[in-house]
Amino acid sequence: MTVRIQHEVFDVGQLIDRLHASDPGVGAVVNFVGYVRDINQDEAVAGLFLEHYPGMTERSLQRIIDNAKARWPLRAVEIVHRIGPLAISEPIVFVGVGSQHRQAAFQACEFIMDYLKTDAPFWKREDVASGARWVDARDSDRSAIARWAEAQHQATIQRAPA
């Protein structure tokens, strides 16, 4: 289980290979790669700048991984998040999950990405024609978190003795 925060561009192929290379029990690898878009909130974006709080950010991402591991039987997780100035079409984030079976890998990857968008201490500034603006989590990101919390609540109820 690896968390890296870096300025450098990452190689998606290498990251995927690493998720299953050392564990023959990994039968499924699911990944997500986020890129800098050229438009957001109906306005052209010229670039992006990401800041973070060293130490706190890595601990926060590790907690997200630990929560995912408590829900699904994961064998490998890799999160790489870039910081600093980023140009349009550059990769921002990689989340990769390895598990024995695809369902756990798909769900855990989505879970990790949803929590990363709302709970990880990154600050994102977009450069747009009207100037620079800080970007916050969207309502849809918060709704995704509420859905995971409800799913956890339902699972707890189903496990409770009658």
Q: Does residue 157 have a pLDDT over 60?
A: no
* Domains along the sequence of the chain with CATH: 2-159 (3.90.1170.40)
Higher-pLDDT residue of 30 and 161 is 30
Over its C-alpha atoms, the chain yields an Rg (Å, rounded) of 17
**Summary mean pLDDT of the chain:** 91
Encoding tokens for residue 6? 């870096």
- The distance of Cα 80 from the centroid of its chain, to the nearest Å, equals 8
Please tell me the distance from the alpha carbon of residue 84 to that of residue 51, in angstroms, as a whole number: 6
Local confidence band at 147 (pLDDT 50, 70, 90 cut-offs): confident
Q: Taking a C-beta distance cutoff of 8 angstroms, is the pair 11, 75 a contact?
A: no
pLDDT digits (tens, 9 = 90+) for 61-119: 999 999 999 999 999 999 999 999 999 999 999 999 999 999 999 999 999 999 999 99
Q: Under a CB-based contact definition with an 8 Å cutoff, are residues 127 and 48 in contact?
A: yes
14-23, pLDDT tens digit by residue? 999 999 998 9
d(CA 17, CA 51): 28
First to last CA, the chain: 37
